[in-house]
Amino acid sequence: MAEPSGWLRRFGAWLRTATVRLALSYLAIIMVMSLAFSVVFYHASARELARQLPPSSLFETEFGNFRPPRFNAFFEDRIAEGRQALLRRLVLLNMLTLLAGGALSYYLARRTLRPIEQAMEAQSQFVSDASHELRTPLTAIQTVNEVALRRKQLTAEAAREIIEHNVAEVVKLRALTDGLLKLARNDSASVVTSAVSLQDVVSQAMEQVVPLAQAKEIAVDDQVEPVMVVAERQALQQVVVILLDNAIKYGPDGSTVFLTSQTRGRFGYLKVRDQGPGIRPYDQRRIFDRFYRADQSRSKHVVEGHGIGLSLAKQIVQSFDGDISVSSSVGTGSTFTVKLPLA
Ligand code: ADP
């Protein structure tokens, strides 16, 4: 048999798409209902038409039955014509239902499947971005070990250096996979919140970043007050660590990071301000996206990272019905604001 032509194959593939299959199911339901309704309607109307035939008692007189010749045949012809016309209209109506129902079904199927398709696209994008991020440290480990293996002799000192490098890369990999796991879970339904003091959370988070701040001689000016907000303590602490870590990472040596709190209406606010390079408006709109990193080609030092921290921070804060935002001007610094419902 000849190969089906290109367009036929494409049409076949289109017919097998999820959208078309779902649309066909919708259409089948519409058509079954329409046909069932037509059959019932046709039978009921045909019965009504048959009742048009006048009863023979109508022509009974005291002088006998005066039914005109071919009277019944005339009426029966009219009734048959009526049935034919009814059938034609019902067939037409069903054809129109098929066309309109087909279009409507396709539209509805697309609307139903779009969020599912988007979720699947986001999922596969996540997997491909995550694999890409994992590849860099893995390649580094592989290269260093392969080079070491090719050496005829390996001194204890060199071996130690290699192991140290491996451990450092594995630590980075762990941090990365931990972040990826948390991002992938995104299980806001299971978040258990309670009243949490911003002041407590901030001082605990500070303990984690002290070594980083000291290494760059960065001072952290903590003016946070004991504002009570609704959150999950550990997760909120992670948000503060992410913001402090960034403020220290991107801030210049010897600068200061300012931490303040505020309450307004039903919300409590935590602000983390740094004296870093600032973020361009174009990047400000994207830095909360997964894996997004602003172009660092113009900065003096390349800062390591994977573009996961802020998206994780946003995910966490939103699971508490809060929000996170940034205001920044290039050359002056950035302020990240976490908004949380007051307890
Ligand atoms: P990472 O810092 O690992 O790249 P993040 O998600 O924490 O990932 O941040 C995303 C991007 O936002 C960073 O790559 C950086 O370009 C920008 N950014 C975040 N915090 C700051 C800051 N305090 N100052 C300047 N740029 C920042």
Most confident of 38-52, 155-169, 217-231: 217-231
Residue 19: count of CB within 10 angstroms of its CB: 18
pLDDT attached to residue 289: 92
Residue 279: count of CB within 10 angstroms of its CB: 21
pLDDT attached to residue 3: 64
- To test the ligand 1 pocket, which listed residue (285, 310, 327) has its Cβ within 8 A of the most ligand atoms? 310
Of residues 182 and 85, more confidence is placed in: 85
Look at residue 298 and tell me whether its pLDDT is greater than 80.
no
pLDDT attached to residue 76: 85
Q: How far is the CA of 187 from the centre of ligand 1 (A)?
A: 24
pLDDT band with cut points at 50, 70 and 90 for residue 188:
low
pLDDT attached to residue 195: 96
Look at residue 2 and tell me whether its pLDDT is greater than 60.
no
Query: Which amino acid, 226?
Result: P
Look at residue 5 and tell me whether its pLDDT is greater than 90.
no
Measured by CA distance, the residue closest to atom 2 of ligand 1 is: 305
Measured by CA distance, the residue closest to atom 11 of ligand 1 is: 293
Query: Which amino acid, 95?
Result: M
Look at residue 284 and tell me whether its pLDDT is greater than 90.
yes
Query: Closest by alpha carbon to 263, among 224, 321, 234?
Result: 224
58-96 confidence digits (pLDDT tens):
777 777 777 777 777 888 888 899 999 999 999 999 999
Nearest atom in ligand 1 to 336's CA: 23
Measured by CA distance, the residue closest to atom 20 of ligand 1 is: 246
Mean pLDDT, rounded, for 236-252: 95
Q: How far is the CA of 245 from the centre of ligand 1 (A)?
A: 9
Mean pLDDT, rounded, for 106-123: 92
Q: Is 342 helix (H, G, I), strand (E, B) or coil?
A: strand
Of residues 302 and 320, more confidence is placed in: 320
Mean pLDDT, rounded, for 2-22: 86
Look at residue 4 and tell me whether its pLDDT is greater than 90.
no
Percent of the chain with pLDDT over 90: 65
pLDDT attached to residue 330: 93
pLDDT attached to residue 1: 54
Nearest atom in ligand 1 to 292's CA: 10
Look at residue 189 and tell me whether its pLDDT is greater than 70.
no
Which residues surround ligand 1 with Cβ inside 6 Å?
Answer: 246-247, 250, 274, 276-277, 279, 287, 292-294, 305-311, 334
Nearest atom in ligand 1 to 306's CA: 3
CA separation, residue 292 to residues 133, 179, 286, 322 (Å): 12, 14, 7, 22
Dist. CA 22–CA 13, nearest whole Å: 14
Look at residue 54 and tell me whether its pLDDT is greater than 90.
no
The mean pLDDT value of the chain amounts to 91
